Amino acid sequence: MRRLLNDPYDVVEEMLEGFCRAHSNHVHLYEDDGRVVVSNLAPVKNKVGVIIGGGSGHEPLFLGYVGENFADAAVIGNINTSPSPEACYHAVKAVDAGRGCIYLYGNYAGDVMNFDMGAEMAAEEGIRVETVTVTDDVYSSKNIPDRRGVAGDFFVFKAAAAKAAMGADLDEVVAAAKKANANTRSMGVALSSATHPATGKAMFELADGDMEIGMGIHGEPGVRRGKLQNADKVVDEIMSFILPDLPFEAGDEVAVMVNSLGATPLMDLHICYRRVAQILDEKKIKIYSSLVGPYATTMDMCGMSITLMKLDSELKELLDYPCNAPYYVKK
């Protein structure tokens, strides 16, 4: 195992300690729960609390997006495991400023169950909590509400957090999150497994020289396995699923993310972005903004994903709204 760890069963606690010390100007651990990363500004007076979260192993998702005008707190579970209901509830207690809170996370059964329980605990104290789950992974289901949330989490989180920072009420923040989610589509390719720190072994089997198109960030089955092809062919295949799904059409404006799953270098990502841009040019789809880098990873997995978000004037404003978090700054 080529990882720099201590006790594999302490990785989450040690990561969170290191993260919060490294970024102490932005965040701290909640005093009553070491799995809740809280913005130093929270609770923000007269603002809806924005809470994101999920399992560890996808950094900088989720904890890296806690900060000014972004998320108010992130709830962190074990590796690829949902946070506990108590931690979800504690995040509400940490950030609620009297206008309610929104939970935002990828659509996975364990997360849905535990965040829902956290919301019920908050409701018993009279705190309203609403939820929007992200469902951007196009191949994970034909039925959109059943889809998984992957790198498109970022765009949904950003839109909702900006709406909250503008002073919107909880219903308006929920509407912005739902709109962002409805206009976001993602799909990826895995070239290797990630290494689970507790076992030191691959989380799934993928032969050297093979790839799997459409694989999920936890190793969920994709479209097909086969021998690794060149970057242009891989991007062409991924885009052939993403573009017709919304659909994205001539005249649209989009935000683009080419995301590393952990081990894929920026060189490769920019080669892939080049092909994405060529395809969008051919389709007469205008690129409004671009992100290239590791935004939602799976530890040391080699691979990448592509996300497109169809934009209108409101979504442009929300993406452009200034924020300052450890792993994303918008001026």
Catalytic center residues: 58, 218
For 32-127, list the strands marked E by DSSP. 33-39, 49-56, 73-79, 101-106
| C-alpha separations of 39 from 64, 71, 95, 262 in Å | 11, 8, 8, 25
Residue with tokens 């709830």: 75
CA distance 164 to 154: 15
Report whether the peptide linkage leading into residue 197 is cis, meaning its omega lies within 30 degrees of zero: no
Q: 256, 283 in Cβ contact below 8 A? A: no
Number of other residues whose CB lies within 10 A of the CB of residue 223? 16
Q: Based on the number of CB atoms within 10 Å of its own CB, is 106 exposed (0-12), middle (13-18) or buried (19 or more)?
A: buried
